[in-house]
Each structure stands twice: as structure tokens, then as C-alpha cells.
Amino acid sequence: MTDRDGLASEAKATAQKLAPVAAAGEAGRVNRRLIRGLGEEGLLPRLFPRRAGGTRDGEISAVDLCVVREALGQESTLAENAVAIQTLGAYPIVLGGTDEQAGRYAGAVARGEAVAAFALTEPAAGTDAGALALRADRDGKGFRLSGTKVFISNAPDADVYTLFARTTPNAGTKGITAFVVNGDAKGLSGTALHLLSAHPIGRLELDGVVVSDDQVLGEIDHGFRLAMRTLDLFRPSVGASVLGMARAALDAAIGHAANRQAFGRPIKEFQAVSHQLADMATKLEAARALVYLAAEAYDRGDKDVARRSAMAKLFATETAQQVIDVAIQVHGAVALERGHLLEHLYREVRAPRIYEGTSEIQREIIARDLFRQQGDR
């Protein structure tokens, strides 16, 4: 068994052990018992360095993150969501913060004792993250934050937010700074949103929230770079998570096709069914190769990691949607019943084509890099 296989097995075993806790959570809200369990079982700490409360000797491996999210996506989307949002919310602190900030803010997140959130998107700044309008105005030795964030995973229940705000007006991506904001800060309020899936997500309102200079992550006006660095790390793992979902759907479709009888024979003997499954299996393998190539490129520090991450997320999320759709078609109406595995996966797989950069913005990232390379020749 390879290290990857061992990590995947550990992730699946943890999800199975915590399945009753995951099922007992309130739809659309943070499940603190599940997050605590993921910490106590050691899975969350394995994804954080020791200086940030984890058990890793070094920084996170994008490959390990992909392995965990793929395994959880196949076993439990609830556990996968919890791990994904915790790590995404805390990793700007790990990547851009000091050792003191990492220990103070990310440590409890790594142990499952605190809930984290990544707060980038705004009502008028989703795909165009450089258009952020939430203001960070200088106030003595700190800043006052005023504005709105929306579609923030784990909001409004998070204990710590990594939040991106505008410190220099009219400066585009060069005028954004990253902050750590406590969930109980005065002037911070929020409401839960209810989407197609049971994802914990909400809206935040900041009315003069005071943050000190020691809550700034990295340098003033360099927060956009930190946000993109974080997304470059996480985009391949978004692809990995939906690979797990699609694998579960494909396995269900294969089993159904082998057992379901129509016109006196198993439907797997109809070429219209078997060839669709063959095509989906092939696309899944191609998507998996792209995902892990991108993760390995991140771990090596390759220059083209942004393009590779975009390709991985784009192809994997689009492919997973196709695979789950075909699996439903093979099953027929039974797969549309509320509570069926495929009905659940069909709802869960839609959002990844939008969050952390839509499929359209991934194509834009890829295209820009292609033309940049052409100009370098």
C-alpha cells in the first residue's frame, strides 16, 4: 500500500466512523460536532503544519489534500465539505501569516476546536475578485472594515474569518489586503443562505469592525496575491473532491446496469448503456491525471501552477457533472427520489463549477497563460 492509499483509507475510515455525527447535523449550518470529530480522529491535523496546530513537519502537500478530498467525496460529502472549508478558511493564515498568527488563529481550526471561513466574494465581486469594495479604512493603529460579503462558506457561524478588503481605492487587485477577523467582533453580523445543496453558507455585514495591525496577513495591499496563492492550492483539490463524487456515481451505475433487467437481459448488455459508462470511466481517468499533475506542480513550485490548477478544476468539475448525469440516466426515475445517492450527488456536484472561480474564469486563466507564453517566445 502506498502513502496515498494509506491516507485515502484513513480518510474513508474517519468518514465512516463519523457518519452518524454527520447525518445528525442541521442542513445548511455548521456541524461543530463533525468538525471536532475530524480533529480528534487526527484527519484535520494531518493537513496542517505543526506551527499551525497540526501534525505535519512541513507545509501542506497539495497532493495529500487531493487524496483526502477525493476519498471523502466518494464516502461522505458532508465530511468532505467540513474538511475543505476548514482548510480553505485557515490556509491564508498559514501561507501569509506569521508563526504567531498561525498558532493563535489556525491552531484551534486544525484541532477542530474552532470554525474557519474564507471571505472573498461580494455582491458585485464574484468572478472579478479584483473589484472588491468592502472598505478597510485606517483608524489609529488598525483598520475599520465596512461592507458586505456573500456566499461565504461557514458564515455566519465561523469563529475566524480570513477576509479580503480594499485598503487602496481605485487600485484594482493591487489595493487589497488580507485580514483575520474574529467571528464575535463588534459590528459583524450575518445570515444563513439556503442553496440547492446542504452546504453551510451565508452573508456577512461589517459595520465598522475594528481590526488591529496584528490581524493583517502579510503586507498591506498584497492580499489579492495571497488569495490567488490559496486558490491555486485548493483548485486541484476541488477537482479531486468531485472525482470522488463521480466515482461513487459511476460505481452505482455499473452495479445497477449489471443487475437491472430489461427485455429479458441485464441493461449492461445494451451498447447504449455500456458505451456511455465506458466513456465516463475514461473521462474520469483523464480528469484524475490532470488533478494530480496540477497538485504535484504546486508541491514542486512550478511557474505554471495557476494554469495547471485552472485546467484541473475546469475539466474535473465539468466531467463530474457529466458522469453523475449519465449515472442518473442509467438508473432512471428511481435516482431522482429524494434521499437516493444520485439525487444527493446531483445537487452536490453543481456548485463546484461555480465556487473558487467559475468554469468560465478557469478558461480565462488558461487562455491568458497561453497567450503570455506566446509573447515570451
**Taking CA 149 as the corner, what is the angle to CA 99 and CA 349, rounded to the nearest 5 degrees?**
90
Q: Which of 306, 341, 323 is nearest to 243 (CA)?
A: 323
Three-state DSSP class for 363?
Answer: helix
- Catalytic status, residue 80: no
- Plot region of 96 (φ>0 → left; ψ -120 to 50 → alpha; else → beta): alpha
- Candidate list 41, 75, 348, 356, residue with the active-site label: 356
Angstrom distance (rounded) from CA 160 to CA 172: 26
Which long-range CB contacts under 8 A does 15-24 form with residues at least 24 apart?
15/71, 15/72, 15/75, 15/76, 15/79, 15/80, 16/75, 16/76, 17/41, 18/76, 18/79, 19/76, 22/76, 22/78, 22/79, 22/82, 23/78
Q: How far apart are CA 70 and CA 320, in angstroms?
A: 12
- 66: nearest Cα among 250, 289, 229: 289
Question: Rounded to an integer, what distance in angstroms lies between the CA atom of residue 29 and that of residue 154?
Answer: 7
Hey, which residues are catalytic here?
356
